[in-house]
Structure 1
Amino acid sequence: MMNTTTKPDFINSAPKLELDVRPSLASGVDPFSLIMKNIDTLKDGEILHLINTFEPLPLYNVLGKRGFNHFTENVDGIFNVYFFKSDAGFEAPSQESPTISKIETVVEIDVRELTPPEPMMVILEKLRDMDEKSILLVHHHREPMMLYEKLDEIGWEAVTNKINENYYKVVITRKL
């Protein structure tokens, strides 16, 4: 995230692709795939303006690995998140520089109906078939605390976002 609380001027002047995911969320559709498709259509110097009902914390990590930085503002509970290429001459992200190839595949699984240890087993099994150009989006009924150490051991990392009680989204990516 940028080290400022005021929207930088370049965001106001750059061309934007606006994506309001609130209707998708209201109808129960996960907008992650739609967001990734829109990111892939951005032209040089263009910014994705994402409008959301919550701050998409896992998305910061996923897009950061693809070379994107972001600026977020919360206006009356509506999150306006601006994603832009870090190499466009703007402030670089504070985390490691992204070196992974472009994400080509998003694999999505739902383990909310499984009982422990089945969710962890299903997740680890699915990761065996995935490469560094893939990410795993998991719909989980709780934060998978026991999973994090296992992921670290096999070269993966996760970002978890609590959507509501008994519903967590876990985005799992290869470590840089």
Structure 2
Amino acid sequence: MDRSAARVVELDVRPHLRKKLEPFSLIMDTVKSLNADEIFVLHATFKPTPLFGVLKMKGLAGKAEQAGKEHWISTFVHKKNKSWLLDPGAGAGAADRAPASDGVCAGDASGAPGQGTFADDTGAQADGAAAAPRIVELDNRGLEPPKPMMRTLAALDRCRSGDAVVIHNDRVPMFLIEELHGLGYPYTVEEQSDGSAKVRIRKP
């Protein structure tokens, strides 16, 4: 099918984000309804960088372009149609490429609690020589939805089997927990005295 004949499905989550509501489940419901020859266009207030890693796991390629202040347009297509993202005038974008800064595993090879780190916007890479399970720690407090959830899922995507991701969120991440159930990832939740929550997730 030619790109010009493809159906475009648009979703604008800017109103949700401005109200500090979590739109991740809405995004994923839309993605689940797509067929292989449809184009998904997402409008958000920021560049949803970790979402590229999450949707890559689901067979989608994407690119993002800034259309204005607090307006980013991200376009996703099935990986077999990723050439559509490179059409003249469509922008080169980051087709089928997930950023290394949102989910690189690193840390003490012993896997001891508290020793893991997260290479966020530093370009640091994991030590490939470490064979033992590792810990990745993410402090998601203060981040606006859906950044905490997408950042966490992107980290899990880049970890190896047996590694763990420990996140500290402002509250119990109910939407994330629902997604973990669907993915079959074991987890534990530890609520903190200040109302925040720590969640430890193991990659099977």
- TM-score between the two structures when normalised by the length of structure 2: 0.46
CA contact (8 A) 2:62 2:82 kept: no
Structure 2 CA distance for partners of 1:27 and 1:157, relative to 1, 3 Å: same
What SS does structure 2 have at the residue aligned with 1:44? coil
CA deviation map 1:142-163 (0-9, x unaligned): xxx72567xx9537879x8x8x
Q: Write the distance in 2 (CA, Å) between the matches of 1:64 and 1:72.
A: 14
Equivalence map 1:69-84=2 (5 Å): 69-77=61-69, 78-84=71-77
Q: Which is higher, the Rg of structure 1 or of structure 2? A: 2
**Paired residues, what number?**
118
Q: Which runs of 5+ in 1 are unaligned?
A: 1-8, 96-120, 125-144
Q: Which runs of 5+ in 2 are unaligned?
A: 85-94, 99-112, 120-125, 161-204
Paired residue type of 2:96: P
1:46 aligns with 2:46: no
CA contact (8 A) 1:51 1:80 kept: yes
Q: Bigger relative contact order, structure 1 or 2, given CA contacts below 8 A and separation 6+? A: 1
- TM-score between the two structures when normalised by the length of structure 1: 0.52
The CA deviation at 1:173 is 2.3
What SS does structure 1 have at the residue aligned with 2:15? helix
CA contact (8 A) 1:14 1:46 kept: yes
More strand by share: 1
What SS does structure 2 have at the residue aligned with 1:90? helix
1:30 aligns with 2:22: yes
Identity among equivalent pairs (%)? 26
The CA deviation at 1:166 is 3.3
Aligned-residue RMSD, C-alpha: 3.9
Q: Write the distance in 1 (CA, Å) between the matches of 2:30 and 2:136.
A: 24
CA contact (8 A) 2:41 2:76 kept: yes
